[in-house]
């Protein structure tokens, strides 16, 4: 009786092993190449920044090096009540910098990132149309 159980278990494990081996052989088959289509969608990148002069230059360089046609995307940096040179650095890199001050978000004492994002969306949509 015990021999029959062990033989059945061996057959089951052998079947699982053969299945996995055969399945792994399919990994050796060369896959078809995917078709790459030319980019045709436009988009805007919104960056909410507050006193980011130490890192915004590197970010602008990375955004310039996107593997995407330059005429199909725009970068908007919303300088949220900055007291440093963030806006100057962004403009030096040729990007759009909008300086947000308290007058933009009149409901609050100081502007928030949410206010900056809304301002950027409105500005991006008005520039696109």
**What pLDDT is stored for residue 83 in this prediction?**
82
How does the average pLDDT of the chain come out, rounded? 76
Greater pLDDT, 108 or 47:
47
101 within 8 A of 112, measured Cβ to Cβ = no
Residue with tokens 């308290």: 102
The pLDDT score that the predictor gives to residue 105 is 28
pLDDT at 65 over 60: yes
The helix or strand, by DSSP H or E, that contains position 80, with its residue range, turns out to be strand 73-80
Distances in Å between the Cα of 67 and the Cα atoms of 54, 60, 70, 72, 73 are: 25, 14, 9, 11, 11
pTM: 0.52
Which sign does the torsion angle of CA 64, 66, 72, 77 carry?
Answer: negative
* Average pLDDT estimate for 8-28: 90
Answer whether residue 19 shows pLDDT above 90.
yes
Closest residue by Cα to residue 113 from 62, 88, 77: 77
As a whole number of angstroms, the distance between CA 72 and CA 21 comes to 47
């Amino acid at each position: 009786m015990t021999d029959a159980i062990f033989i059945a278990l061996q057959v089951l494990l052998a079947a699982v092993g053969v299945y996995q081996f055969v399945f792994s052989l399919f990994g050796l088959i060369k896959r078809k190449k995917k078709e790459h289509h030319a980019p045709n969608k436009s988009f805007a990148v919104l960056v909410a920044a507050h006193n980011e002069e130490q890192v915004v230059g590197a970010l602008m360089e990375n955004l310039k090096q996107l593997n995407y046609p330059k005429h199909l995307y725009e970068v908007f940096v919303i300088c949220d009540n900055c007291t440093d040179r963030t806006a100057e650095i962004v403009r030096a890199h040729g990007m759009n910098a909008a300086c947000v001050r308290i007058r933009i978000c009149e409901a609050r004492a100081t502007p928030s990132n949410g206010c900056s994002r809304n301002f950027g969306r409105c500005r991006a949509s008005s520039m696109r149309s």
